Structure 1
Amino acid sequence: MCATIMVAGLLATAPLQAASAPEAALEPRVGHAFALDSGRPVYREVHDPEVVDGELVADRVEYVDPEGKIFARKRVSFEEAPLAPSFRLEDTRTGYIEALQRTDDGRIELIYRKREDEAMERTVIDPPSDVVADAGFDLLIYRNLDRLRAGETLRFPFAAASQQQTVAFRLRRIDEREVLGEPAIVIRMEPDNMFIRWLANPIDVAYHAETGALLRYEGLSNIANPDSDENYRVRIDFPPEGVEPQPPASD
């Protein structure tokens, strides 16, 4: 999608009660997260999707530490708005909470708390018609993979609970190469503002070139290191069956 075409057009044609997703997202899957700086495993994210009539309605995610203990949970609901789903993430180690919920008058409330001893931050906003949130950016890429592969750029406001506002982002293809033994298209998500881009690290995601399945995520995690309070920078691999995840140090 070029800059002159609004993402709102995609929202207008999208099903409101379910999310069109690749077949891989309709099955339970596991993401293996490694710290980008050290290559060590830091957690696994275990996805248990809820599927109705072949469409993704919700996703329940458990975050598991290297010792096998569940330390955080998230539920994402795509029923009201697939590209800006309601969600709630809670980390029991620190009391971290990040959420988006809808109000009765059609607005959205962004909820954030970094630690349990801090006050909960809440902001209610009138969302732009093309707003994207949380796992909705994954669906946005999947639905527009052909456009991105052709070199078009998608621009959209992202509802960031930690920032208590929407932030302008863009998506663009940066590479086509093999990832986890599969042909992949690599998409970069980064701030649309040039000056902010100089300060912020991008997020790179790799999708299977034929099926649209997510293969790899590289960038800032939604999970914080409990020892530093800073969110991990991670590589998360979603390997096909029979393929081992690849920690960064092995490249």
Structure 2
Amino acid sequence: MANAVSFIKAITIATAFILSGVFSGTLSGTVFADESVLSYRGDAFSLDGSTLLYTEHHQLTYRQVSSDSDKAVNEPISRITRYQDANTQEFAVKENTYRYGSATPEFNLTDTRYGYYEEVTYENDRWRASYREPTEADKGKLGKPDYTPVIDSGFDEFVRSVWPELMDGDTVRFSFAVPSRLEWVNFRLIPLKNENGTLTVEMRLSSRLLSWLLDPVKLSYDTETMRLLTYRGLTNIRDKNGEGIQAEIRYTYPD
């Protein structure tokens, strides 16, 4: 049972990193002529919708490039996400850089309330992960993923890359990097419904034997813009006891 608890804790930390991506944000503050910046926010409420728990503030930098169909697409460059409590006090910062593919950004996260830090980097042709918290720390190389590798906010870019399959109702599998386990964890992304301009998908652990460890996470996307609208489930933000918070996060974008 101890291993199960440890696994749940690790997935708690991992799942909400999935909801952090819609293109990307600059770390240095410098934006070049061919780059654009998108700023948006997420408001995390209790599951009954009565209480604002915290907010996410995303600053994203991207460039437009031509795709195979000669249609311009947004390519992520970098991002910074700041987390604030309900009293607007900042407590965590996450940085991403997209040097090795839109679905696999390097990243680091610092939560000052718990002294928690984790990162994933690419060095010498290998993905490496590390984490540090008050009671333990570890680092190591990630092995070979079973499916398409996805790291942190690269999840949102991954969703767009498999958009046709999801719109056709097909389940998609991917391997998600979990630094606190120093390994890839396999997930299924399952389309639930497509109506009124919204695509709703459900994320589950790929192993049906282990799926009981984590309640499904539900995400909804705008079918026209492919932007994330809501995330409902376990987040990476913890309460005063260090346990993951269940929340519904609602995203708003500039006109």
Q: Same fold (TM over 0.5)?
A: yes
Higher strand share goes to which structure? Answer: 2
Which 5+ residue runs of structure 1 have no aligned equivalent?
Answer: 1-18, 243-251
Supply the AA of the counterpart residue of 1:230.
Answer: E
Q: Is the 8 A contact 1:60 1:73 kept in 2?
A: yes
TM-score by length of 1: 0.78
Q: Which residue of 2 aligns with 1:60?
A: 80
Q: Which residue of 1 aligns with 2:30?
A: none
Q: Which residue of 2 aligns with 1:238?
A: 251
SS at match of 1:195: coil
Supply the AA of the counterpart residue of 2:89.
Answer: K
Question: Could you say what the CA RMSD is over the residues aligned between the two structures, in angstroms?
Answer: 2.4
Supply the AA of the counterpart residue of 2:192.
Answer: I
1:41 to 52, 64, 88: 52
Deviations 1:76-111 (A, max 9, x none): 1112222121111111111111221112x1111111
**Residue 183 (structure 2) pairs with residue 165 (structure 1):** yes
Q: Is the 8 A contact 2:22 2:60 kept in 1?
A: no
Q: How big is the shift at 1:21?
A: 4.7
Deviations 1:168-206 (A, max 9, x none): 11111012345xxxx210111111110111231111111
Map 1:145-224; keep pairs closer than 5 Å.
Answer: 145-178=163-196, 183-224=197-238
Q: Which residue of 2 aligns with 1:229?
A: 242
Q: Which residue of 2 aligns with 1:111?
A: 130
Q: Is the 8 A contact 1:26 1:55 kept in 2?
A: no
Q: 1:73 to 1:176 in 2, by over 3 A?
A: same
**In structure 1, C-alpha distance between the alignment counterparts of 2:130 and 2:107, rounded to whole Å:** 10
Deviates more, 1:65-74 or 1:34-43: 34-43
Taking only the aligned residue pairs, the percentage that are identical comes to 28
**In structure 2, C-alpha distance between the alignment counterparts of 1:207 and 1:189, rounded to whole Å:** 13
**In structure 2, C-alpha distance between the alignment counterparts of 1:28 and 1:75, rounded to whole Å:** 14
Q: Which residue of 1 aligns with 2:155?
A: 137
**In structure 2, C-alpha distance between the alignment counterparts of 1:206 and 1:185, rounded to whole Å:** 6
1:78 to 53, 77, 98: 98
Runs of 4+ more than 6 Å apart: none
**In structure 1, C-alpha distance between the alignment counterparts of 2:143 and 2:215, rounded to whole Å:** 28
